[in-house]
Amino acid sequence: MADWSLLPNDLLELIVGHLETSFEIVLFRSVCRSWRSVVPPLDHSRCLGIKTHDISFNAGFTFSDQPTDQPPFKSSVDCTLKNIPIYLVKFWTPYGDDYLIAEMREREGGEPKLLLSPLSSNRIIYGMGINKVLFNSLTSPIIPFGQYYEITYFKKQPIRYRYGLPYHLWNEVEWVETSERVEFLRLHSEDSRDFAVLFAGRMCNLVMYRSRNMSWTQVVEHPETYAYQDLVAFKGKFYALDSSGRGRVFVVELSLRVTEIPSVKGSQYCSKESLVQLGEELLLVQRFIPAGRRYDEYIYTWFKVFRLDEEGGKRKWVQVNYLNDRVIFLGARTKLCCSVHKLPGANENCIVFLASNDGSIFDNDSVLLFDLKTRRTNTAFNECKGYMGVFGANLKSLVSCGLVTIPNPTTRFLL
């Protein structure tokens, strides 16, 4: 095995020149002493940094299929593309090895970054009611685990009822900051700055942004007026899954050409579908709830998994009954898939998902697990404690190793 500490300083300085956020510098400095000597400690090391791009809106463009003369956005530059990083933090406790999966979010005024569950829609914040969440990159490995992209912009929206707002103003409009999930493709170019973004606009529209053209373009209007429920960037192309519940997936080329992958043969209607990238493979995951059953009757929920087969230049879906040592996490805003060897105590060949249709987590029973081998669904934490770190439910472990500190009730002011 190579001794990384022996790399020459000029090569290390070249590597540092390609680091884009202060958190990448923190990770770089945690490798060994010789690497730390190349980069001085950051004055504000807690500011982890998020990669952003400013995106302009073309004149008259809207995310709906109707052009307008009225500017739908606050200004042509008030759209920001953000890369939201997800990290795996491993640590050791008196109870054994444990981990935490968290996405990093910005806060205003130089405050420490927010740590959020990347899978819940109600934005569970790690450290809520806790003084600090401290990571020591020398003793707790912090590993990039995934990422997703979103755009943030201001749009016009009717004013809803507000306490103290006069009645005659309720019909007015206001500018509201909005965030939307998008898919991102970095394209090959001389300066490595060319990229494309795909967004499922209102109703049945797909719109693509190309940095080279600095403009948005409508891709296609779905012939059967179904909205799109999931997007993924895979091997230089975009894949869009509609909401028909029949496994209909469309391949979107950068040229704006769209082709449909033949639907899963004999597929029955499913309640929810997702596209999940598994290494160099793309999976279609279908969730079924028998007719007459509610979402909260999780014991009746079951799944089918299909792999995209591209042999012979023809795309088709092939059913998969075994994920080997992998586990799939289906969240509200993102999906994760990894080997259970990265997650202490996790079970393989499982799908972890959320009970509610909107991806909210209210208690431990909101997180469910489907075993592809036994075909049974149960609450995830009862089935396997190793999944608690994905949702920050392992507070006892976090406190025991000093990763988080709980306020001393004798020193707190009661309001």
Q: What is the pLDDT of residues 245-278, one digit of tens each?
A: 888 999 999 999 999 999 887 666 788 899 999 8
pLDDT (mean) for 143-153 = 86
Position 68 confidence tier, pLDDT thresholds 50, 70, 90 = very low
Q: Give dist(CA 326, CA 414) in Å, integer.
A: 47
CB 364 within 8 A of CB 393: yes
Render the burial of 174-188: b for 16+ CB within 10 Å, e for the rest: eeeeeeebbbbbeee
Residue with more model confidence, 71 or 187:
187
Residue 312 predicted with pLDDT over 80: yes
Q: What is the pLDDT of residues 163-211, one digit of tens each?
A: 566 666 666 777 777 888 899 998 877 666 789 999 986 556 788 988 8
Three-class SS of 28-93 = HHCCCHHHHHHCCCCCCCCCCCCCEEEECCCCCCCCCCCCCCCCCECCCCCEEEEEEEEEEEEEEE
109 contacts: CB under 8 Å, gap ≥ 6:
none
User: Helix and strand tally (H, E) in the chain?
Assistant: 5, 25
Domain ranges of the chain: 14-45, 46-405
pLDDT confidence of residue 89? 83
pLDDT (mean) for 107-134 = 61
pLDDT (mean) for 87-113 = 73
Q: What is the pLDDT of residues 326-341, one digit of tens each?
A: 999 998 888 999 998 8
Adjacent-strand bridge partners of 260: 250
Residue with more model confidence, 224 or 352:
352
By three-state DSSP, how is residue 131 classified? Answer: coil
pLDDT confidence of residue 415? 29
Alpha helices in 61-209 (DSSP H): none
